[in-house]
Structure 1
Amino acid sequence: MQYRILGKDMQHVRVFLNPGEMVYGEGGHLVTKDPSVNINAGARGGILKSFEREMTGGDFFVLELTGPGMVEFSSFFPGRIIPIQVMGQGLSVEHNSFLFAESTVQYGAKLGKLLAGIFGGEGIFLASFTGQGNVFVHARGGVSAFNLQPNQQIQVEAGHLLAFDSGMQYDIQRVGGLKTMLLGGEGLFFVTITGPGRVWVHNVSILQFAHVLYSRAPPPSQPSPGGFGPQGPSFNINL
């Protein structure tokens, strides 16, 4: 399999499949494909794995695309696409960020820390990948990568956590005292991850993105600068 990551602020990935070569991914991220590429909706890993995926916010069925030909995937948010090689005990990925994976990688889910899911705004479950091969994920805004040594720790605001090696220990800690939580401009909890292992971090969280859009939107009863109110265009007619 060959691929090219294209674009700058809104990246997409173009994959070139050999005859019989297959990748699978979430249907909402598929942009285009050659007519020669066969597409099939499958309960990859069986019914149990499919139920686990659905609980992460993913789809019960995934799209399986078999070459020869080209397929292209993208995300819903501006940001970066990165391939991550699954190794060791596997890979845990924030559920909204998975695009597609090679067929040699198994796709399931696991129960994450309850508080991280509720207060981090990212769901209680994590997508889980095992086997050998690349998983392609999307980082909102941009991505920071860290390779932690044994017992080295990093604290990640819960809404910014993108992916980490599955064998790593992690826990949830409150952000300072009550004053810091209410006035500090951050989320309520940090995820503390302990090495050894790899960690990837979004530069933008979904909650931040939504808050910025909401804070800059005009009030519902006020027409926008282009003259369009909530019911459509507005006109003043003097008779």
Structure 2
Amino acid sequence: MQYKVFGKPFPAVSLRMNRGESIYTQSGGMSWMTDGFSMETNTHGGLMKGFCRMFSGDSLFMATYTAMQDNQEITMAASMPGEIHTLEISPGKGYIAQKGAFLCAQHSVELNAVLTKKLSSGMFGGEGFILQQLSGSGVAFLELDGTVCEYDLAPGQRLKIDSGNVAYFEESVRYSIETVKGFKNILFGGEGLFLTVLEGPGKVWLQTMTASELANKIVPYIPVSGK
């Protein structure tokens, strides 16, 4: 399989595949393709896995596209302005991503919903209780919002992040939250009550924008009926 990521600010990934190669994506994730593909829709791992994926921001059903001839092309596009990142996954090297980040992957890549380790992290960490785990082996693609920055954290090194700006991180990184200190900071600082804390060792990727932030900026400009 060959692939090419293209386009800004609305990126897409084009995959060129030979007979027997396949890719899976959430329902409705395909943008266009050549004629030599077959499509199969199922829960990809069972009904329970499907329901867990729903809580992590993806659809209950997954669509698998398999090339029936050589040199076939299929394209998946991001739904928000931002970046598409390619993950080379191997045994022992998995990633944890924000809700809804998964775009598509080879069948040898496992997509699972995982609970945050602490109840407080799930309630106040900005991403909810459930994140997305990618493991196994193969290539996967994530759609991320805005511009993405990479940090390589040393053992014990900590990074404090505004809620929602965590894009994804290596499984070796510890995820938790902490309370913003100072009464005035909480009331007037604009960061809310809590910050997400990522602790090394491992790499983390942060996004400059979130879908909710973009929506909040657009809402005041949407015409209201009767005005």
Q: TM-score normalized by structure 1? A: 0.85
* Structure 1 letter corresponding to 2:113: A
Structure 1 residues 33 and 123 mapped into 2: Cα distance closer, same or farther (>3 Å)? farther
- What amino acid sits opposite 1:84 in the alignment? L
User: CA 1:151–1:65 in 2, change beyond 3 Å: closer, same or farther?
Assistant: same
What is the match of residue 196 of structure 1? 201
- Name the structure 1 match of 2:185: 180
- Residue in 2 that maps onto 1:151: 156
1:145-199 CA-partner distances (Å, limit 9, x unpaired):
1121211111121211111112321111123333223322234321111111121
Q: 1:8 is matched with which residue?
A: 8
| Alpha-carbon distance between aligned partners in 2 of 1:38 and 1:72, rounded to the nearest angstrom | 14
Which of residues 92, 103, 121 in structure 2 aligns to 1:99? 103
Secondary structure at the counterpart of residue 53 of structure 2: helix
The alignment partner of 2:164 has SS state of helix
User: Closer, same or farther in 2 for the Cα pair 1:117/1:213, shift >3 Å?
Assistant: farther
1:39-58 alignment, distance < 5 Å:
39-58=39-58
Instruction: Give the number of equivalent residue pairs.
Output: 222
Distance apart, 1:12 and its partner CA: 0.8
- Give the alignment partner of residue 136 of structure 1, picking from 141, 145, 153: 141
Equivalent residue letter for 1:57: G
User: Does residue 165 of the first structure (1) align with residue 156 of the second (2)?
Assistant: no
How many Å apart are 1:55 and its aligned residue?
2.3
**1:86 maps to which of 84, 89, 96:** 89
Structure 2: any 5+ residue segments left out of the alignment?
none
SS class of match (1:130):
strand
- CA shift, 1:219, in A, is 5.0
Within-5 A mapping of 1:55-66: 55-66=55-66
Are 2:9 and 1:23 equivalent residues in the alignment? no
Question: In the aligned structure 2, how far is the partner of 1:117 from the partner of 1:14?
Answer: 34
Task: Compare 185-194 and 91-100 and name the one that shifted more.
Answer: 185-194
SS at match of 1:190: strand
Amino acid at match of 1:92: I
Deviation at 1:220, TM superposition (A): 4.4
Q: What stretches of structure 1 of length at least 5 have no aligned partner?
A: 223-239
Structure 1 residues 207 and 186, CA gap change in structure 2 (3 angstroms): farther
Q: Deviations over 1:116-160 (max 9, x none)?
A: 444455332111111112221111111111121211111121211
Counterpart Cα distance in 2 of 1:53 and 1:12 = 22
Q: 1:117 to 1:210 in 2, by over 3 A?
A: farther
Give the match's secondary structure for 2:219.
Answer: helix
Mean Cα deviation higher: 149-158 or 176-185: 176-185
State the Cα distance separating 1:45 from its structure 2 match: 2.3
- 1:179–1:218 Cα change, 3 Å: farther
Check conservation: 1:45, 1:107, Cα contact below 8 A: no
Q: Which residue of 1 aligns with 2:76?
A: 73
Provide the C-alpha distance between the structure 2 equivalents of 1:25 and 1:178, rounded to a whole number of angstroms: 45
CA contact (8 A) 1:154 1:193 kept: yes
